[in-house]
Amino acid sequence: MRARWAGQIRVVPAAFMATVDCAGNTAKFPHAAQLMLLGDAAPRGANFSVDDPNSWMLWNDSDPNCTLGDWYRGVLGLPHKNTGDPALIDRYRHRGRINVACADGHVDNLQLDPGVLDRISITLDFTTY
């Protein structure tokens, strides 16, 4: 499924790009068609502020070879790898589904189910240092 807004997403704000030297070779992303760049999430806290890092809905992952299914297992309280914050879950916005924008440019609307979400990479086959 392709979302109408998918081509309009700016992954990094223009103001940020103007202040730092950011470069990347997206051709080197492992599994670009599976790699999540953006996904639905619940806001952190009641008051959003651009300057407050706790306001942003960022995925901070620490374990290698994780999928979105690993994160959802943590949301459900099941054994899982150390992945994104379970507080990011928004079960109601899309009636038990999540929109995920992948590195190859396509957008999927997926059921919140560990097996289904195992198809989406958070850190699969990334080099660890």
pLDDT tens digits, one per residue of 37-65: 877 777 666 666 667 766 666 666 668 88
- Verdict on whether the full-model pTM lies above 0.75: no
Domain assignment present for residue 25? The answer is: no
List pLDDT tens digits, range 99-120.
Answer: 888 888 899 999 999 999 999 9
> Which residues span the domain enclosing 66?
1-7+31-129
Is the CB of residue 87 less than 8 Å from the CB of residue 54? no
In the chain, how many domains are there? 1
Of 122, 33, 106, whose CA–CA distance to 74 is shortest? 122
Domain assignment present for residue 107? The answer is: yes
Is the CB of residue 123 less than 8 Å from the CB of residue 68? no
Domain assignment present for residue 63? The answer is: yes
